[in-house]
Amino acid sequence: MTESNPLPADPLHGQPHEIVERDGVRYTLLGTAHVSRASVDAVRAAVASGDYDSVAVELDPGRLQSLTDPDTLTRLDLVKVIREGKTHLFAANLALAAYQRRLAEQLGVEPGEELKAGALDAQARGLPVHLIDREVGLTFKRALQSLGWWQRTKVGAGILASMFGDEEVGDDEIEKLKQGDMLESSFGEFAAESPQLYQTIIAERDQYMASALRQVAAGVPAGAASPYRVLAVVGAGHLPGLVRHLRDDAGDPAELRRSLEIVKPKSRVPWMELVIGVFLVGGFAWGFWQGGVDVGSDLLIQWVLATGVLGAIGCAIAGGHPLSVLAAFISSPLTPLHPALASGTVSAFVEATLRKPTYADFMALRDDVQTVKGWWKNRVARILLNFFLTSLGTAIGVWTGGLRMLGKLVG
């Protein structure tokens, strides 16, 4: 008598998951921990089970490419990034990569490895793959737009600090990752303090991904078995929101996704630049009118020196090329009056043009940014330092020069 083989264990057993059926589609939402080997194994077993017609993962095309192609950074045109004003976004992605690198070294598991396994295993088995998350750049831009200037400053400082940090990730952060979301963990300190940031980074993405899953119903092949079975691999922290939106949301899912991708254009009226411009022009005019050439010239020179020298000092501290320092000095008095330009952008553009990063710089970037010395050694990192420190120097110069002028006007 032969003994029958036991049935394979349920790959979802012991794993957080929910099942929602709607519009002829059965969604199996598998909640994962982004730093758990057990989650990787569960995802691979679920895909291999043959129980699903397609697989959806909590990724956008850019994040999938960065997970599957380690050389993505080496093909980046940094000059184009600076020219298009995407330096902040590049810095945020670099901070996220540095954070993930520390996690990988500490835990022996690449963060997001279960998402990568879900996408690649599905492709290998010929299953359609749906990338349902919103592009990181859109999320970051919408998050910043929801904040006031002080909160944006704190987030920027936190991003810069996280790029410099090399300390181990705390146990509390790891526990959050086991139950939550990579972006939430990366910017969790700010999300906890800001309801607006939490809304953009977590709640909006729940609704966005639910809408993307609902769109799967429109693309079900003719003649497919009903219900069409979709395995959705998402961070465990998204499960409650996804279930709620999948069950309750009405209306066109494509239209809803578009509404959650909108980035409000900058105000056509640059109020801050107008205020600074009126103050400066008025101050210079008053100085020349009331005190003659001597007073007017003195006000003008003080403004140029305060902004230009401090902007140039910031660039020099970043190890900028002498021509980059000169560009910072020339642009710093002028860019506060220009709504679409920053002195850091000008000096970083000159730096990137004169000292174009090499393939080796990009390859070593993730290692170099783990040490303070590495920031000045690596050309990519040094360009980022140039941007931030020149902009910071100019900002300090604006306040210093403005206060000096105000003192002269009221004195």
Nearest to 365, CA basis, from 95, 67, 60, 42: 95
* 402 pLDDT tier (thresholds 50, 70, 90): confident
* 4 pLDDT tier (thresholds 50, 70, 90): very low
The mean per-residue pLDDT over the stretch 312-336 comes to 93
Domain ranges of the chain: 17-259, 271-410
CA quadruple 242, 248, 251, 252: dihedral, nearest 10: 30
Rounded mean pLDDT of the chain?
Answer: 79
DSSP string, 196-253: HHHIIIIIHHHHHHHHHHHHHGGGPPTT--SSEEEEEEEEGGGHHHHHHHHHH--S-H
The mean per-residue pLDDT over the stretch 172-191 comes to 52
* 2 pLDDT tier (thresholds 50, 70, 90): very low
**Cα–Cα distance for residue pair 26/39, rounded to 1 Å:** 21
pLDDT one-digit tens code per residue, 225-277: 889 999 999 988 888 999 999 999 988 999 999 999 988 776 555 566 667 76
* Residue the block writes with tokens 């990338």: 131
The mean per-residue pLDDT over the stretch 283-290 comes to 71
pLDDT one-digit tens code per residue, 192-218: 555 666 677 778 899 999 999 999 988
Q: Give pLDDT, residue 108.
A: 65
The percentage of residues in the chain with a pLDDT greater than 90, rounded to a whole number, is 31
Is 54:28 a contact under the CB 8 Å cutoff? no
The mean per-residue pLDDT over the stretch 346-373 comes to 84
The mean per-residue pLDDT over the stretch 297-322 comes to 90
> Which two three-digit tokens encode residue 340?
């679409």
Q: What pTM did the predictor assign?
A: 0.69
- Who has greater pLDDT, 12 or 118? 118
Residue 112 identity: G
> Which two three-digit tokens encode residue 48?
């291999």
54-57/25-32 β-pairing: unpaired
Return the minimum-mean-pLDDT range out of 104-108, 215-219, 388-392: 104-108
- Who has greater pLDDT, 313 or 148? 313
Highest averaged pLDDT of the listed ranges 37-51, 276-290, 297-311: 37-51
> Which two three-digit tokens encode residue 380?
């990519």
pLDDT one-digit tens code per residue, 56-102: 999 998 888 878 876 676 677 777 777 777 776 777 666 666 666 66
- Who has greater pLDDT, 99 or 40? 40
**CA of 354: how far to CAs of 85, 321, 357, in Å?**
19, 8, 9
* First vs last C-alpha separation in the chain: 106
Q: Give pLDDT, residue 234.
A: 92
What is the enclosing helix (H) or strand (E) of 32? strand 25-32
Q: Spell out the residues 6+ positions from residue 109 whose beta carbon is closer than 8 angstroms to its own.
A: 35, 36, 37, 40, 103
Q: Give pLDDT, residue 8.
A: 46
DSSP structural state of residue 268: S
> Which two three-digit tokens encode residue 329?
């000095």
Q: Give pLDDT, residue 3.
A: 41
Partnered with residue 235 across adjacent β-strands are 32
The mean per-residue pLDDT over the stretch 48-53 comes to 93
**Cα–Cα distance for residue pair 263/49, rounded to 1 Å:** 41
Judged against a pLDDT cut of 50, whether residue 5 lies above it is answered with: no
- Whether the CA torsion 226, 44, 63, 93 is positive or negative: it is positive
* 331 pLDDT tier (thresholds 50, 70, 90): very high
